[in-house]
Amino acid sequence: MPTALITGITGQDGSYLAEFLLQKNYTVVGMVRRTSIINLERLEPIQDRISLVQGDLLDEGSLIGVLREFAPDEVYNLAAMSFVPTSWQQPVLTGEATALGVTRMLDAIRLVNKGMRFYQASSSEMFGKVQEVPQRESTPFYPRSPYGVAKLYGHWITVNYRESYGMHATSGILFNHGSPRRGLEFVERKISLGVAAIKLGQLDKLRLGNMDAQRDLGFAGDYVQAMWLMLQQSDPQDFVIATGSTHSVREMCAVAFEHAGLDYNKYVVQDQRFYRPAEVDLLVGDPAKAGRLLGWEPELGFKELMHSMVDSDLAKLQSGVRLPDLQEFTTVRF
Ligand code: NAP
Ligand code: G4F
């Protein structure tokens, strides 16, 4: 059976992709970076069925070592500094991991075995100040954050290695996707956890930034299937993966609070600290090419996703799962 290497396996998408590939009988190898606390929460149910190996996108030698040892057929590069606000605070680190990290991995593949298939986790953040609505594969890019700029570098270096070396290197331009496993700092999870905490009397107010921003938001479990489909094509190409509809942060709040029987107007406070130096106002993708060539379409809708996240956070808080101190959660600049 084929072997897949996943970088970023400890993240949201990495955990869903690992589960998906195990169902397809892959041997799954996950690359994890060294941390002072082991961070395998999202992998708990499958930990005994995958191999984990240390490596870091900042260190090309470690990538070459992992590729030599496990000889994967497919490499899914999901690792990145993925949180947009942090990219203004740490622009150089963001460039090292999210941009140059892609070159390090592509070059490691070129050196070890350029027959390995490569997936790059590109992002709708690259469209930034959008030049066309909806955004499709041919839409010009205009990134609005150091993160978006770094992802754009990763995108073009993937195209370049494909064209320079004939590698099966593919870039998936994925629009926002969440799940109950989403990092706490991303807006839809901040909202679902905030709703659960307010409902249970553990929090008074939810502090947010720009509630007019609009995002095309799907379910991570649906999106990892598209990654795999891209690597099964004989002809490597780039694809937009999106739902085709968009929702404001305000709408996310309305749907999530309403699901818990609450009116968001009473609890949400707009706080300047959560506004960004440059905003991406509107993202909405056109997934027609993915539908046509990959046969991919999203299954879980926006409301169902928000509801499942609220339900999951309610269950977690009720079962006493220790989440970060809720006071800090509302004031730290996520
Ligand atoms: P995530 O939950 O933040 O996971 C990021 C992963 O990258 C974590 O496993 C993290 O490891 C790892 N990582 C960070 N720096 C690393 C380094 N230097 N070396 C090795 N590993 C490193 O992100 P996600 O939501 O799953 O997203 C997966 C990928 O898709 C990311 O590249 C993201 O930028 C991109 N993307 C996401 C979305 C979305 O809406 N979710 C949309 C478009 C594109 P630790 O656990 O050690 O921190
Ligand atoms: O949830 P966000 O932080 O996600 P953002 O910036 O769209 O980035 C996510 O999606 C990208 C794909 O387009 C990925 F590449 C990236 O890795 C990440 O997964 O913010 C969404 C929107 C923004 O417009 C932000 O200004 O929500 C707005 N927002 C309003 N209040 C907030 C908040 N965002 C956060 N994180 N926290 C707030 O309190």
pLDDT at 328 over 90: no
Closest protein CA for atom 27 of ligand 2: 187
Residue ranges of the alpha helices (H) in the chain? Answer: 12-23, 60-70, 84-89, 91-94, 101-112, 146-165, 187-199, 220-232, 249-259, 288-289, 302-318, 326-331
Task: Specify whether the CB–CB gap between 147 and 81 falls below 8 A.
Answer: yes
pLDDT on residue 321: 80
Tokens standing for residue 78? 């999901």
7 close to ligand 1 (CB < 6 Angstrom): yes
Which CATH homologous superfamily contains domain 3-177+217-241? NAD(P)-binding Rossmann-like Domain (3.40.50.720)
Between the CA of 97 and the centroid of ligand 1 the distance, in Å, is 10
Across residues 324-333, what is the average pLDDT?
65
Could you tell which of 78, 100, 122 is best to mutate to test the pocket of ligand 1, judged by most ligand atoms within 8 Å of the CB?
78
User: In sequence order, which residues have a C-beta less than 8 Å from that of residue 120 and are 6 or more positions away?
Assistant: 77, 102, 154, 155, 158, 169, 170, 171, 172
Could you tell which of 16, 82, 189, 300 is best to mutate to test the pocket of ligand 1, judged by most ligand atoms within 8 Å of the CB?
82
pLDDT at 205 over 70: yes
189 close to ligand 2 (CB < 6 Angstrom): no
Domain ranges in the chain are 3-177+217-241, 181-216+245-282+299-328
- SS3 percent helix, strand, coil of the chain, rounded to 5, is 45, 15, 35
245 close to ligand 2 (CB < 6 Angstrom): no
Q: CA nearest 176: which of 79, 241, 97, 81?
A: 241
**CA–CA separation, 314 vs 309, rounded Å?**
9
271 close to ligand 2 (CB < 6 Angstrom): no
Beta bridge partners of 173: 122, 240
243-259 in b/e form (b: 16+ CB < 10 A) is: bbebbbbbbbbbbbbbb
Residue 31's SS3 state is strand
Between the CA of 11 and the centroid of ligand 1 the distance, in Å, is 5
- Output the average pLDDT for the chain: 96
Closest protein CA for atom 23 of ligand 2: 213
182 close to ligand 2 (CB < 6 Angstrom): no
Atom of ligand 1 nearest to the CA of 125: 43
Task: Specify whether the CB–CB gap between 30 and 10 falls below 8 A.
Answer: yes
pLDDT at 293 over 80: yes
Beta bridge partners of 177: 218
pLDDT on residue 331: 65
pLDDT at 327 over 90: no
pLDDT at 76 over 90: yes
Tokens standing for residue 325? 């101190």
Across residues 310-332, what is the average pLDDT?
81
Across residues 153-180, what is the average pLDDT?
98
Between the CA of 7 and the centroid of ligand 1 the distance, in Å, is 8
274 close to ligand 2 (CB < 6 Angstrom): yes
pLDDT on residue 326: 65
Q: CA nearest 23: which of 46, 41, 42, 44?
A: 46
pLDDT in tens, 108-130: 999 999 999 999 999 999 999 99
Task: Give me the DSSP letters along 4-28.
Answer: EEEETTTSHHHHHHHHHHHHTT-EE
- Confidence (pTM): 0.98
Between the CA of 10 and the centroid of ligand 1 the distance, in Å, is 8
pLDDT on residue 332: 67
Between the CA of 84 and the centroid of ligand 2 the distance, in Å, is 7
pLDDT on residue 320: 87
pLDDT at 306 over 80: yes
187 close to ligand 2 (CB < 6 Angstrom): yes
88 close to ligand 2 (CB < 6 Angstrom): no
**CA–CA separation, 84 vs 86, rounded Å?**
6
User: In sequence order, which residues have a C-beta less than 8 Å from that of residue 242 and are 6 or more positions away?
Assistant: 124, 134, 135, 174, 175, 216, 218, 284, 285, 286, 287
27 pLDDT band, cuts 50/70/90, is: very high
3.50.50.60, 3.90.25.10, 1.20.140.10, 3.40.1800.10: which CATH number matches 181-216+245-282+299-328? Answer: 3.90.25.10
pLDDT at 330 over 70: no
Closest protein CA for atom 16 of ligand 2: 82
pLDDT on residue 38: 87
12 close to ligand 2 (CB < 6 Angstrom): no
